[in-house]
A and B are shown apart, each in its own frame.
Chain A
Amino acid sequence: MTALVELRELRKWFPVGGGLFRRKQQVKAIDGVTLDIRRGEILSLVGESGSGKTTVGRAILRLLEPTNGTIRFDGQDITHLGRAAMRPLRRRMQLVFQDPFASLNPRHTVERIVASPLAIQGESGGRERVMEALEMVGLQRHHAARYPHELSGGQRQRVGIARALILRPELLVADEPVSALDVSIQAQVVNLLLELKERLGLTILFISHDLSVVGHISDRIAVMYLGRLVEVAETRDLFRTPRHPYTEALLSAAPDPDPDARRRRIILQGDIPSPLDPPPGCAFAGRCRFALDACRAAPPPLRQVAPGHLSACIRDDIHLQSPLDEGATHVPAG
């Protein structure tokens, strides 16, 4: 399988503060991410807020200028492409937003919103293609004349998906596309994404903090913590044999649909360290129950611990618990 997107040692540091007498500081939102998104897969990027997952998505779409590292899209280096050079590529990569209320212009009708990609990219076939796109996401023709405020949250998110897909992109970055929706609507939108992925041959980068959704939808999962990847694995492997203590904690925190299933929760102590001043070694060491002195010395590299399974933990000698242990019932679709 070939990679559609290749990230190599990607960094994005945001300068903050810095006045006349204060030194300028850097927020290390992404600090050396190396990751491939394979053609045709759904790769989920999970992590708590502030881990840099949204920044990775926006860097791939070149909504921000990376500090260093490289981004390749379909083999082409797009790390520092200018706006004009990016324009023809933009039709091949699209974004679905978290908040379906903020992502649609309140002054435009659904038809105008869904047609805007055609207008911007200078394509014809307006009305018919809009109707086709609306039907593709499960909306009806009469929704075209509506304004966003006349639609429900789920319908708005469908409009956002129709706008993202009308140009038939290859890559879809879905930035927490269901976390603003009611639980009952979430499943519908997730299933719509799965169906469209099959129908259109999409590659999806699914950014989320909700492991139960992620387990259902993704082929592979990448776990982020404070701007770095800590673990990358096939969904089933990650759930069955997590190799990083942070992943273990995340998995144990995910709600279980079975009320009778009782398992040990790992309650993390303390907070995520400040990205302004990350600790010198493993960023997770301060909250990790397995941390050694060596963990605090140097940042552990992401290395292969099993075929297709990468982890950034130096401890191979620990056994981590999995939600699939102890007869727990939740099995993710792999």
Chain B
Amino acid sequence: MSLALSAPAFRRFRRHRLAAFGAATIVLLTLGCFLGPFLLPFDDTTIDVMNRFAPPLSGAHVLGTDELGRDMLARLMMGGRVSLIVGFTAMAIGMALGILVGAVAGFHGGWLGAALMRFVDAVLCFPTIFLLLALAALVSPGLLSIIILIAATSWMDVARIVEGQVKSLRERDFAVAAQVLGASDARIIVHELVPNAVAPIVVAATLNVARAILLESYVSFLGYGIQPPVPSWGNMLNNAQIYLTSAPWLAILPGLAITLAVTSFNFLGDGLRDALDPRMRAR
């Protein structure tokens, strides 16, 4: 009896612990990547030919060195900067676009809403990774272009969420009250509707950061994203392929970093989903 009662509570507890773990990891990763390089005696581009392929924990280089003798920890930190910047800014741009499209489509409905949402469906039909690669082939690679490309493939789910929310919220009496007062459409959307859709938006935003980090890694791994010598977790993996048997840490370390960052954001998103779910929130 007591076991049956405690099972869901335990699950919730564990989920929230994972979310806290995720949040803590994200904070640590961010601090490490942005402050770490100032504390480290090595630069990520300094070549140390005498110390090529040094394994981790074998001397001055804590996480070893790569084929040019560059310090792996420094490279991971700089790559992490790229990944986190790409993740957050691509998420922010994608969110802005998705909220805008979703709010306009949900608020106006009619042919405009239908056209916008069918466009969203059409973009969703493209396999993301092929779309990214096709677009990347046309644009010169770089930090800004990769951010815009990822944002361009990750705004649709938010648009759908916001469209559904706005469509139902705009019929609610408090939105009608603003209309009776003569409020503009923009005011009704910004002040009355979107704040009430903030919970699903925050959850989607968190999961989108993870997705953007992963997409950046894919594209850089395939050679279309961030270009060497600027390190990113994706192009470090690409580099490591040929040394997989002789220097496996070159692949394992950036792989671990990607896994850690992506799962942390996913745990945080799941935790937020539970925490912000109105059914879970006792009055």
Q: How many residues in A have their beta carbons less than 8 Å from beta carbons of B?
A: 27
B174 touches A105 (CB 8 A): yes
Q: Cβ of A102: which chain B residues have Cβ within 8 Å of it?
A: 172-174
Q: How many A-B residue pairs have CB under 8 A?
A: 56
B283 touches A95 (CB 8 A): no
B181 touches A117 (CB 8 A): yes
Q: Cβ of A163: which chain B residues have Cβ within 8 Å of it?
A: 177
B181 touches A120 (CB 8 A): yes
Residue of B with least CB distance to A58: B176
B182 touches A103 (CB 8 A): no
B177 touches A86 (CB 8 A): no
**Most B CB within 10 A of own CB, among A94, A103, A105, A160:** A105
Residue of B with least CB distance to A84: B182
CA distance A95 to B283 in the complex (A): 28
Known: A120-B183, A149-B283. Contact between A95 and B177, CB under 8 A?
yes
The size class of the interface chain B forms with chain A is: 10 to 19
A140 contacts partner chain B, Cβ-Cβ < 8 Å: no
Known: A105-B196, A107-B195, A107-B196. Contact between A120 and B177, CB under 8 A?
no
Q: Cβ of B172: which chain A residues have Cβ within 8 Å of it?
A: 102
B179 contacts partner chain A, Cβ-Cβ < 8 Å: yes
Q: How distant is B142 from chain A, measured CB to nearest CB, in Å?
A: 40
B-contacting residues, A88-111, CB 8 Å: 90-91, 93-95, 97-99, 102-108
A-contacting residues, B156-186, CB 8 Å: 172-174, 176-183
A103 touches B173 (CB 8 A): yes
B196 touches A103 (CB 8 A): no
Choose from A95, A104, A105, A106 the contact partner of B180 (Cβ within 8 Å): A95
A211 contacts partner chain B, Cβ-Cβ < 8 Å: no
Q: How distant is B138 from chain A, measured CB to nearest CB, in Å?
A: 41
A202 contacts partner chain B, Cβ-Cβ < 8 Å: no
A87 touches B196 (CB 8 A): no
B182 touches A121 (CB 8 A): yes
B187 contacts partner chain A, Cβ-Cβ < 8 Å: yes
- Mark A74-87 against chain B: 1 for CB-CB distance below 8 A, else 0: 00000000010011
B181 touches A97 (CB 8 A): no
Residues of A within 8 A of B (CB): 61, 63, 83, 86-87, 90-91, 93-95, 97-99, 102-108, 116-117, 120-121, 149, 160, 163
- A102-B172, A106-B196, A116-B183 are known; give 4 further A-B pairs, CB within 8 A: A108-B195, A120-B182, A121-B181, A160-B177
Residues of B within 8 A of A (CB): 172-174, 176-183, 187, 191-192, 195-196, 198, 283
Selected A-B contacts with CB under 8 Å, 19 pairs: A61-B180, A63-B176, A63-B179, A63-B180, A90-B182, A97-B176, A97-B177, A98-B173, A99-B173, A104-B174, A105-B174, A105-B195, A116-B177, A116-B181, A120-B182, A121-B181, A121-B182, A149-B283, A163-B177
